[in-house]
Amino acid sequence: MQNKIVFISGASSGIGEACAHKFASQGANIIINGRNEEKLAKIKVEIETKYKTNVLILAFDVRNRELAEESIDTLAPEWQNIDILINNAGLVIGMDKEYNGNPDEWDTMIDTNIKGLLNMTRFIVPGMVERNRGHIINIGSIAGDAAYPGGSIYCATKAAVKALSDGLRIDLVDTPLKVTNIKPGMVETNFSVIRFRGNKDSADNVYKGITPLTGDDIAETVWYVANTPAHVQIAEVLLMPTNQATGTIAYKTTSK
């Protein structure tokens, strides 16, 4: 991984930030993307100080196709040869019934989770194909396997991530490029706070009685799949806390 270039969308917190630290700790140079430039700047300082590797900030919203394309097209030569694309940017808002949902929130989820992933794939993967090397790692979700109450739109977007991952793998079958869909179960990050529209108490209640996964747990898995031999492609990984069985079934105690 020494001197490889890893692009991570949604890197200002949670899984994306953890991935940035993990890959940097192994000698990779990191391009961190997100909307919050101030947070990205702090992460850049932390990583460059701790790991003595290089970090480039690209602050833009993956939903903004024009700015995304411009940002990738104008990369300095030393940053152009991206080896690993981690499509991590994504979110869920609300727990409304589908027929009561907020269409503006639908747009935000669909445009970020699906179109944002497509934007970054479109602007980065052609370069990988031209160089005949690369790995695309999409952060999906257990929610893409089956719908759950109050989550139909989000579940649909993560089902789309699976379909897009599978389709891209088919499109790249005649190349050495790899495509992996990582599907976490319960992960305790700022993700749930956004789901509950900023209500941290409601977000915290999701994890009471169970030891959830962390961003670092997901980053370790991403690191693993990115380091298999050239002839080994891990197409999909579903990982959950030990006491979670499906997207809707988990065992919680009252003592935790």
Q: Where are the domains of the chain?
A: 5-239
pLDDT: is 247 or 190 the higher one? Answer: 247
The answer to whether residue 237 scores a pLDDT higher than 70 is yes
Sorting pLDDT into bands at 50, 70 and 90, what band is 189? Answer: confident
Q: Helices 117-131 and 152-171 meet at what angle, rounded to 10?
A: 10
> Nearest to residue 74, comparing CAs of 136, 31, 24?
31
Give 254's pLDDT tier (boundaries 50, 70, 90): confident
Residue 255 scores a pLDDT above 60: no
Q: Are 26 and 51 in contact (CB under 8 A)?
A: no
For residue 206 the two structure tokens come to 């999701």
Distance CA 151, CA 158 (A): 11
Is residue 93 scored above 60 in pLDDT? yes
Q: pLDDT above 70 covers what percent of the chain?
A: 98
Find the mean pLDDT for residues 140-144.
97
Average pLDDT, rounded, for the chain: 95
Query: What average pLDDT does this structure show over 95-101?
Result: 94
Q: Which residue has the tokens 């900023």?
A: 198
206 vs 122, which has greater pLDDT? 122
* Vertex 228 angle, CA 117 and 171, to 5°: 40
CATH of domain 5-239: 3.40.50.720
- 126 against 255, higher pLDDT: 126
Closest of 189, 187, 185 to residue 238, by C-alpha: 185
- Do 80 and 6 form a contact (C-beta atoms < 8 A)? no
pLDDT at 17 over 80: yes
Across 83-111, average pLDDT: 95
Catalytic site positions: 154
Are the beta carbons of 208 and 236 closer than 8 angstroms?
Answer: no
The residue whose two tokens read 């890197």 is 11
pLDDT exceeds cutoff 60 at 149: yes
Q: What is the mean pLDDT of residues 209-232?
A: 97
Bin 43: left if φ > 0, else alpha if -120 < ψ < 50, else beta. alpha
Q: Give the pLDDT mean for 29-51.
A: 97
Better-scored residue on pLDDT, 255 or 5? 5
Cα-based angle 25, 28, 133 (whole degrees, multiple of 5): 140
**What pLDDT does 256 receive?**
46
Distance CA(188)–CA(167), nearest Å, equals 30
Residue 179's DSSP bridge partners are 136
pLDDT of residue 162: 98
